[in-house]
Amino acid sequence: MGRGNVRDDSYRSGSFRDGDRGGGDDGRSFGRERYENGSDSRFGRESGGYGKGRNIGGDRGFSSSNDSRFMRDGHGPDRGSRGRDDSASYNYREREDSRYSRGKRYEDDSSGLLGDRSNNKPNIVSILEKKKNSSQTPPPPVVAPPLTLPGEDEEAARERIEKKKREVEEKLTAEKKQAEEAAIAEAAAAKLAAEEAVLASEKASTLLNEFASGNKIGEDLAQWCRDQGALLPPIEDLVYHLLTEREKKNPSINCEWAELSQYGSALLSKVEDDINAQKQVLWGIQKYCDDLGFPKLDNENVIQGMFRSMYKHDLALDEAFEGWKEDESESHEAGKMKAIIQTIDWFSWLEEEEDEEDEEEYKQ
Mean pLDDT score, 12-20? 43
Is 112 a residue whose pLDDT tops 70? no
Mean pLDDT, residues 49-69:
43
**Can you tell me the distance from the alpha carbon of 294 to that of 291, in angstroms, rounded to the nearest whole number?**
8
Q: From CA 304, how far away is CA 310, in angstroms rounded?
A: 10
pTM of the predicted model as reported, rounded to 2 decimal places: 0.49
Q: 17 pLDDT exceeds 90?
A: no
pLDDT of res. 349:
93
Predicted local distance difference test score (pLDDT) of residue 314: 95
Asked if the model's pLDDT at residue 106 lies above 50, the reply is no
Say if CB 210 and CB 231 are below 8 A apart: no
Task: Give the tens place of pLDDT for each residue, 250-264.
Answer: 999 999 999 999 999
Question: Residue 64 has what pLDDT?
Answer: 40
pLDDT value of position 94: 52
Phi-psi category of residue 233: left, alpha or beta, with phi > 0 → left and psi -120 to 50 → alpha: beta
Q: What is the pLDDT at residue 265?
A: 95
50 three-class SS = strand
